[in-house]
């Protein structure tokens, strides 16, 4: 998808992951200044404009660190006016609910829901101060729209919370010209899921794919264009929406 993000300033969390890295590279390629945020440095992508790429190593589950980050972006580049909350992760899988430890629950909810809230809050504060419109895209999951087959109670709950947060913020921030939308991936082949997929018995994988209309797993780069659509001014009358990118596993009216 070709867009013109020239003059725009983007904040992408989870920039080391394949989805976040793909979005950051696409935004750079299409003219944006991109602040890539993660606990680990993202891979360098050949062919993108390095002079418009900023990397910050930060823990976005720390509200103070997020406030400092957005204040720095505003001071140095006047943004962000585009935000992608791509950070997240399921934690342990297939743990019975009666064996889930408090600290494991809290860690997964902090990464997947609390961090998204902190980023949305600080970006909103910056946009309101500057009286600028903006676009925020949150990343949920098919587990947040239905359930997970891998027993990730905290992850499914947090990702459902991300969808609720998206709707609520879209309603609240619409009068300020700030759009908030959400993408809910299905089972996507990434570095984070390849080991789990390799351990999955063949019959379990076939069972999963039987519920996917397109009959295959998704690839990380297939998330990029739906995210860019929400960020682009071509979607300027779209807010509060969650789109499943899952090959037709979840079909909601």
Q: Are 12 and 69 in contact (CB under 8 A)?
A: no
pTM score, two decimals? 0.94
pLDDT of amino acid 42? 62
SS (H, E, C) 206-246: HHHHHCCCCCCCEEHHHHHHHHHHHHCHHHCCCCCCEEEEC
For 121-145, write each residue's pLDDT tens digit. 999 999 999 999 999 999 999 999 9
Where residue 109 falls (left for φ over 0; alpha for ψ -120 to 50; beta otherwise) is alpha
Domains and CATH numbers, the chain: 9-245 (3.40.50.720)
Lowest mean pLDDT among 73-77, 91-95, 193-197: 193-197
pLDDT of amino acid 151? 74
Q: What is the radius of gyration, based on Cα positions, of the chain?
A: 18
Q: Would you say residue 194 has pLDDT above 90?
A: no
Q: Which two tokens stand for residue 51?
A: 């002079």
How many whole angstroms separate alpha carbon 32 and alpha carbon 80?
A: 10
Query: Mind telling me the catalytic residues?
Result: 155
What integer is the mean pLDDT of 189-196?
77
For 28-81, write each residue's pLDDT tens digit. 999 999 999 999 876 665 555 578 999 999 999 999 999 999 999 999 999 899
Helix-then-strand count for the chain, H and E: 9, 9
């Amino acid at each position: 998808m070709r867009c013109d993000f020239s003059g725009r300033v983007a904040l992408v969390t989870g920039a080391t992951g394949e989805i976040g890295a793909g979005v950051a590279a696409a935004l750079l390629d299409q003219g944006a200044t991109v602040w890539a945020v993660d606990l680990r440095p993202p891979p360098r992508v050949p062919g993108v404009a390095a002079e418009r790429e900023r990397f910050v190593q930060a823990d976005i589950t720390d509200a103070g660190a997020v406030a400092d980050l957005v204040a720095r972006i505003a001071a140095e580049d006047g943004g962000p006016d585009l935000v992608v909350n791509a950070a997240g992760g399921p934690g342990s899988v297939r743990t019975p609910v009666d064996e889930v430890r408090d600290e494991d629950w809290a860690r997964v909810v902090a990464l997947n829901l609390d961090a998204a809230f902190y980023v949305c809050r600080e970006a909103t504060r910056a946009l309101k101060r500057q009286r600028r419109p903006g676009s925020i895209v949150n990343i949920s999951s098919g587990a947040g729209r239905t359930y997970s087959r891998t027993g990730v109670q905290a992850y499914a709950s947090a990702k459902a919370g991300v969808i609720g947060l998206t709707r609520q913020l879209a309603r609240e921030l619409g009068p300020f010209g700030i759009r908030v939308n959400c993408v809910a991936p299905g089972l996507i082949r990434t570095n984070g899921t390849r080991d789990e997929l390799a351990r999955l018995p063949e019959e379990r994988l076939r069972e999963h794919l039987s519920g996917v209309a397109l009959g295959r797993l998704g690839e990380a780069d297939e998330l990029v264009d739906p995210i860019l659509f929400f960020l682009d001014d071509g979607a300027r009358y779209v807010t509060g929406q969650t789109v499943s990118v899952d090959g037709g596993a979840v079909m909601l009216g």
